[in-house]
Structure 1
Amino acid sequence: MKSEYDHGETTPSVYRRVLSNPQFGLILAVTFVGMLEAALAPALPAIADALQISDGRVGLLITFFKVPSILVVPVAAIVADRYGRRVVLLPSLVLFGVVGTAMFFVETFVVLLAMATVMGIGAAAIFPITVTMLGDVYSGAANATAQGFRVAIVGIAAISIPALSGYLSGLSWNYPFALFALAFPVIVLVALFLHETIEPSASSDGVSRLTRQYSGAIRTELLNPDVRILVLGGFVRGFVRYGVLTFIPLFAVRVLDASLFEAGALLAVRGFAYVSVSPVAGSIVSRIGRKRALIVAMLVSTTALVAIPFTSSLLILSLAVFAYFAGDALFDPVMKDAVTTFGHDDYLAGVVNTLYVLKRTGQTVSPAVFGFVLTLFGYETLFVAAGALVLAYLVAFRTTFSADPRSR
């Protein structure tokens, strides 16, 4: 149930209320575990060299990791809305941690791809469930604040995990997979202390009928053009962001002669952007509104993407990468706040997971598509095309998004 203290609070009181909730801390811990997937991209150059895989092909590891989410996320949404968030979250964490750790012992790329697919099944619902649980508990400014701190935790993980993965991959290509063992203590805490945030449904409807009813309700939610353009933003963000995450380390190593550790540290720059920008997302929204905040975020990211392939040093590249993720760090929590504000309480996980289905679809096809672009045209075209796509979405968003959700 959403908090009853959502209206008329000062900003300091909202921050205190959000941060003093122990359940909020557990949700942030789960978010950090979900970010262990950030260990994959910095390890790609080492994997490519050790297993003799081309730069274009090694990105398939990300694709295989993301493929299951397209099918798993919609099913997880139905289960989470009807039977509870914990029913989905706990098994997902266990599968993610166990299989990710087991990949440490794999010695061939084909088996690595297969296990990445299984690990992706566990990973698929972790982030959507954390977003949904925050939407269950908070609304209004508190929701934007909570979502912002969630992204800040993503930022902290993005600072530490890629840099550590880059260092470990310099020792041995498979060492980064040992990081997935960090999931186990959080699994224990979730099992013992994380509360359910909704009342499970007592409906006895058959599965097929329940699925049809649920799908119809989600389609009704998506008839709102504001919701549709926000959900489409999930695809664009996922597609572009994973192109950056996958190919920035390769660009740094191949073009700027960076070491594997430097390539991992470069991705850690995004964490500083998330930590510095996302926690103030709620304050920015209260000042300029959601629509303007999202437009500013996209303008910053577009400019940075176009600049990336023309950088001549690691320092300048790191500044461009920081600018891109600063825009993303504002866009992400504000978009999710808007989506969870629009969504009907009975189908909130479904609306959020629809967002994540498109986001994960973008993440899944991105390495393959950008790998193809890289093979044919090179890095300059790859990053400029990514910037052009964000700009095209910005134009569509500015035209379509007609109302600030807080006014409804």
Structure 2
Amino acid sequence: MQRKNLTVIFLSTLIAVMGVASITPAFPSIIKHFGITPMQVTLLITVFTFPGIFLAPVIGVLADNFGRKTILIPSLFLFGLAGLACFFTKNWHILLVLRFFQGIGAASLGMLNVTLIGDLFSGPKRGEIMGYNASVLSIGTATYPAVGGALAMAGWQFPFLLALLGVPTAFMVIFWLKNPEPDKKQNLADYLKRTWKNVNQKTVWGLFILNVLLFVILYGAYLSYFPQLMTERMNSSSLQIGLFMSGFSVVTAITSSQLKRINKILKPKVQLQIGFTLYLVSMLLLSFADEWWKLLFPIVTFGMAHGMIIPGVQTLLVGFAPITERAGFMSINSMVLRLGQTTGPIIIGFFYALGGTGTAFIGGAIVAVVMLIISFTMLKL
């Protein structure tokens, strides 16, 4: 049973990261096809992540009261079918609308997969499975840019077809997932009071802020402007961009898979601080990189950082709430995560407007410094 449960969880994780990682290598082709600017193309990320800011808390309440599967199944169907519709559109504004609806489908996926791990596992095993889940996530983010880049060689719209994988995954949730569900509906006022008590802690707020900034770096600097860097400075193709972007995810997957060993050596707070320092190094090096070999070290450092930070933050957060409020609690994390994804391209876009691609990565380095400061001042672990 646990094998099937993990298969469903890991597939949901793969779907959750597909919506952005698979299409960013096609950004240069999309820019050319629609005659838009590099800043405008990042709207494909912003409108996709925007619904999660407002829907996540609602989804969390519903999942705690009506069950995880009740939310997960229609979300996967909507994600897949909206992605298919993106493939067929020829209008830029309609594409943005369809991405918004696809984002509605995606809003619950990254939150519910982590919630399910918290429901099904506890203690050291939970941290171990979080590490494996982060490895699966990284395999997805490693594979999708390469696959998306290859598909984009046939046409800018072809990477959107990958979203159809959400449909068979939804059927697997129906027939395979056997998870504990809340046994009864809860009084809403009492439920919200307990959830707020779980949230309103200095360390929790610190972790939430770090999650916002983490995705400002990932979505704002790396996913939005790394393709632009390779296009401007190295005249790279979509396939080449995808392969390089896959490199960081391979490193992330390897690092996350070793989380069990890392946890034995490093305390959680030290782990995170090392990760933030590696982010800083990566962003600074990328701001100056003008040849492909100069990308190798910052890609490795970025991947190592991501491999420690993502599962580390998730494991810490999921332990702050019991099963009866866990989805609601994690939905707030999903909301702040989406806030980072949505505002990241805008925040880093400000730095891009000031001085181009190199300055965009300087902006990412500044965010990494802020993350270090927060880790020292707010985390009591």
What interval of TM-score do these two structures reach, taking the shorter chain for normalisation? over 0.9
Match of 1:231 in 2: 208
Match of 1:218 in 2: 195
Q: Aligned-pair distance for 1:162?
A: 0.7
Separation in 2 of the partners of 1:153 and 1:77? 23
Q: Aligned-pair distance for 1:105?
A: 0.2
SS of 2:258's partner is: helix
Q: Deviation per CA, 1:225-277, whole angstroms, max 9, x where unpaired?
A: 11111111111111111011111111111222111111111211122022210
**Residue 69 (str. 1) matches residue 47 (str. 2):** no
Match of 1:346 in 2: 324
CA RMSD of aligned residues (A): 1.6
Alignment equivalent of 2:72, drawn from 81, 89, 92: 89
Q: Report the number of matched residues.
A: 379
Q: Aligned-pair distance for 1:101?
A: 1.4
Which residues in structure 2 correspond to 1:3-402 (within 5 Å)? 21-37=3-19, 38-203=21-186, 205=187, 210=188, 212-243=189-220, 244-402=222-380
Separation in 2 of the partners of 1:73 and 1:87? 15
Instruction: Give yes or no for contact 2:233–2:291 (8 Å, CA) kept in 1.
Output: no
Structure 2 gaps of 5+ residues are: none
SS of 1:351's partner is: helix
Which one-letter code corresponds to 2:135 in the other structure?
A: A
Q: Aligned-pair distance for 1:24?
A: 1.3
What TM-score results when the alignment is normalised by the length of structure 2?
Answer: 0.95
Q: Aligned-pair distance for 1:122?
A: 0.2
Separation in 2 of the partners of 1:100 and 1:214? 35
Q: Aligned-pair distance for 1:20?
A: 6.1
Separation in 1 of the partners of 2:8 and 2:89? 32
Q: Aligned-pair distance for 1:85?
A: 0.7
Separation in 1 of the partners of 2:60 and 2:40? 32
Separation in 2 of the partners of 1:120 and 1:360? 10
Instruction: Give yes or no for contact 1:55–1:250 (8 Å, CA) kept in 2.
Output: yes
Which one-letter code corresponds to 2:357 in the other structure?
A: Y
Q: Deviation per CA, 1:298-333, whole angstroms, max 9, x where unpaired?
A: 111111111111112123214312311220111010
Q: Deviation per CA, 1:35-80, whole angstroms, max 9, x where unpaired?
A: 2211121111111101111111111111011110011111000011
Match of 1:7 in 2: none
Separation in 2 of the partners of 1:295 and 1:139? 25
Separation in 2 of the partners of 1:185 and 1:223? 39
Q: Deviation per CA, 1:168-191, whole angstroms, max 9, x where unpaired?
A: 112211111111122222222111
Counting aligned pairs with the same residue, the percent is 25
Separation in 2 of the partners of 1:283 and 1:83? 37
SS of 1:21's partner is: helix
Q: Deviation per CA, 1:353-386, whole angstroms, max 9, x where unpaired?
A: 1111111001101112322321222122211121
SS of 2:234's partner is: coil
Separation in 1 of the partners of 2:5 and 2:373? 39
